[in-house]
Amino acid sequence: MRNIARIMGVPVDKGSLVDATNRIKELLNKDGCSQVVTPNTEIVMSAQEDKELLKVIEEADLVIPDGIGLIYASKIKKKGLTERVTGVDLMAQILNYCNEEEKSIYLFGGKPNVANMAAENILKKFPNIKIAGTQDGYYKAEDEEKIIDSINEIKPDVLFTALGAPRQEKLIYKYKNILKVKLAAGVGGSVDIWAGTAKRAPEVYQKLGLEWFYRLMKEPWRYKRMLVLPKFMIKVILTKDI
């Protein structure tokens, strides 16, 4: 039984990284393609307008709170989310489990060669994982179905998409009824972190809930998108029940 909190109408699974990892193990051992989504504050705000995105999250099999804003909102409105569970950390747990069970993964997204570099580094840390395939995220729209067909020929256990949110989530949703994978997760920039082309915020930022600030310093052009964070917090404070 899932234990769900609703943040502005968006369902999020309550629990820790360990709980999320246990759920992953369950999903990897069941039939069909399960979808994992990792919304942050920006995605929750987008889902207020974007009904397709809301549906994707509603129908996902695991939704982790990958944004400190969601945890603050939950604390203020007593929604029961206790800790942030990041996509980067969950991806590491999935990889660890795949290594133990000798499962296969497919990396789909990122700039040309990024997925290959990520695969190499993943193999160094998790040598029992099978890299089923890689594909960059800068393909022609008309090639999308061919890519899905080639994934289906290989039948990897796990498909990671890194095409930017919410595109990577919508792509999984669009094909999940025909995808021959056990688990599919949009992991965005995590593939860049594995490839070494991006760095995760130092632990001190993570601990202080300031990972967003580190990202803002590294990628200042994102500031417009990030203005949604204060908007979200103001909405949380001014709305009686989010």
Positions touching ligand UDP (CB under 6 A) are 109-111, 137-138, 162-165, 188-189, 191-192
CA pair distance 189, 89, nearest whole angstrom: 12
Token code pair at residue 205: 């930022």
CA pair distance 22, 46, nearest whole angstrom: 28
Residue closest to ligand UDP when measured from CB atoms: 137
CB of 141 to ligand UDP, least distance (A): 10
Q: Which residues contact 209 (CB under 8 A, 6 or more apart)?
A: 68, 71, 72, 84
Handedness of CA 236, 45, 13, 209 (dihedral sign): negative
Report the residue number, 207 or 225, with the smaller CB distance to ligand UDP. Answer: 225
CB of 195 to ligand UDP, least distance (A): 8
Report the residue number, 46 or 74, with the smaller CB distance to ligand UDP. Answer: 46
CB of 185 to ligand UDP, least distance (A): 12
Report the residue number, 15 or 67, with the smaller CB distance to ligand UDP. Answer: 67
Report the residue number, 156 or 189, with the smaller CB distance to ligand UDP. Answer: 189
CB of 91 to ligand UDP, least distance (A): 13
CB of 143 to ligand UDP, least distance (A): 13
Report the residue number, 99 or 161, with the smaller CB distance to ligand UDP. Answer: 161
